[in-house]
Chain A
Amino acid sequence: MPGVLDFSNVTKDYGIPWSRRRIRALEGFTLSLERGEIFGFLGRNGAGKTTAIHLALGFMRPTSGAGHLLGKPFGDAASRARIGFLAENVALYHRPARKLLRYYGGLNGMRPQRLQLRSSEVLRQVELELEANRNVARFSRGMQQRIGLAQALINDPELLILDEPTSALDPLARVTMRELLLEANRAGKTVFLSSHLLSEIEMICHRVAILDKGRLVKLGRTEELLISRDRYEVVARGIPTNSFELSAYSLPQVRGLPLDANLAGDGRVQFTIPAAAQRDALQRIWSLGGEVLSVNPVRRTLEEVFVELTNKGSVL
Chain B
Amino acid sequence: MKPVVLMAANFLREHRWPALLLFAWIALLALAAADLTRRYSAPEDVMFYITQQAIFICVFSAFLAADAIHNDRKSKRILLVLSKAITRSEYLLAPIVGASAAALAYALLFDVCCLWLTDRAHMPSAGILPLALLVMAGSILAAAVSLFFSTFLNPYVAIAATVLLFTAPGSLHLQHHAWSAWLPGFPILIKMIDLKLAPYATISWKTILIAMAQAVIFWGMAAAVFNRKDIAVPVE
Distance of A157 from chain B, by nearest CB (Å): 10
Answer whether A77 and B87 are a contact pair too, CB < 8 Å, given A87-B80, A91-B80, A106-B2.
yes
Residue-wise, chain A 80-121 has the 8 Å CB interface mask toward B (1 for contact) of 110101010111110100000001101111000000000000
- What number of residue pairs across chains A and B have CB atoms under 8 A from each other? 72
- Taking the complex as formed, is A268 at the interface, i.e. its CB lies under 8 A from any CB of chain B? no
The stretch that binds B, out of A52-60, A185-193, A198-206, A245-253, is: A52-60
Find the A residue at minimum CB distance from B87. A77
Q: B14 touching A109 by the CB < 8 A rule?
A: no
- A103→B86 contact, CB < 8 A: no
Chain B min CB distance to A249 (Å): 59
Out of B6, B87, B228, B232, which one reaches A59, CB within 8 Å? B232
Q: Of B44-52, B71-79, B102-110, which stretch is located at the interface?
A: B71-79
Q: Is the Cβ of B84 less than 8 Å from the Cβ of A81?
A: yes
Known: A89-B76, A92-B77. A54 touches B85 (CB 8 A): no
CA distance A80 to B87 in the complex (A): 10
Residues from chain A with a CB closer than 8 A to the CB of B86 are 77, 107
> Does A151 make an interface contact (CB < 8 A)?
yes
Q: Are A91 and B77 in contact, with the CB atoms below 8 A?
A: yes
Residues of chain A in range 120-156 having any CB-CB distance to chain B below 8 Å: 148, 151
Residues of B within 8 A of A231 (CB): none
CA distance A81 to B3 in the complex (A): 12
Contact B3 A54 (CB under 8 A): no
Which residues of A172-226 are within 8 A (CB) of B?
Answer: none
Q: How far is A77 from B88 in the complex, measured between Cα atoms in Å?
A: 9
Q: For this complex, into which size category does the number of interface residues on chain A fall?
A: 20 to 34
Cβ contact within 8 Å between A91 and B231: no
Q: Which residue of A lies closest to B83 (CB)?
A: A85
Interface of B is mostly: helix
Within 8 A of B (CB), among A266-305: none
Do the beta carbons of B85 and A78 come within 8 Å of each other? yes
Q: Is there an interface contact between A85 and B6, defined as CB atoms closer than 8 Å?
A: no
Q: Is the CB of A80 within 8 A of B77?
A: no
In B172-200, the 8 Å CB interface with A consists of: none
Q: Are A77 and B230 in contact (CB under 8 A)?
A: no
Which residues of B are found within 8 Å of A35, using beta-carbon distances? Answer: none
Residue pair A14, B6 in contact (C-beta under 8 Å):
no
CB nearest to B4 among chain A residues: A107
CB distance from B216 to the nearest CB of A (A): 20
Task: Report the Cα distance A80→B82, complex, angstroms.
Answer: 9
Give the size category of B's interface with A.
20 to 34
Does residue B233 face the partner (Cβ distance < 8 Å to A)? yes
Q: Which residues of B lie under 8 Å from residue A83 when comparing CB positions?
A: 83
> Which B residues are in CB contact (< 8 Å) with A92?
77, 80
CA distance A58 to B3 in the complex (A): 18
- B6 near A80 (CB under 8 angstroms)? no
Chain B, Cβ-Cβ closest to A60 = B230
Closest to A54 in B: B232
Nearest-neighbor residue (CB-CB) of B77 within chain A:
A91
B114, CB-defined interface residue at 8 Å: no
Report if A61 contacts B (CB, 8 A): yes
Q: Which of A14, A95, A109 contacts B3 (CB 8 A)?
A: A109
Partner of A106, one of B6, B13, B77, B87: B6
Report the minimal beta-carbon distance from B113 to chain A, rounded to whole angstroms.
Answer: 32
A60 touches B85 (CB 8 A): no
Give the distance in Å from the alpha carbon of A54 to the alpha carbon of B81 in the complex.
13
B14, B75, B76, B79 interface centre (most CB from chain A within 10 Å): B79
Find out whether the CB atom of A108 lies under 8 angstroms from the CB atom of B77: no
A24 to B80, CA, bound (A): 25
Q: Is the CB of B79 within 8 A of A59?
A: yes
Query: Is B7 an interface residue, CB under 8 A from the partner?
Result: yes
- Interface residue? B10 (CB, 8 A): yes
The CA-CA distance from A102 to B80 in the complex, in Å, is 13
**Interchain nearest-CB distance for A160 vs B (Å):** 11
Q: Are A57 and B77 in contact (CB under 8 A)?
A: no
Q: How far is the CA of A106 from the CA of B83 in the complex (A)?
A: 13
A residues less than 8 Å from B85 (CB atoms): 77-78, 80-81, 107-109
Instruction: Please tell me if the beta carbons of B79 and A93 are within 8 angstroms of each other in the complex.
Output: no
Q: Which residues of A contact B87 (CB under 8 A)?
A: 77
Q: Which of A50, A59, A89 contacts B230 (CB 8 A)?
A: A59
Q: A92-B77, A95-B13 are in contact. List 17 more A-B contacts (CB 8 A).
A: A14-B233, A57-B79, A58-B82, A59-B82, A59-B230, A77-B85, A81-B85, A85-B83, A87-B79, A91-B76, A92-B80, A107-B6, A107-B86, A108-B85, A109-B2, A109-B85, A148-B80
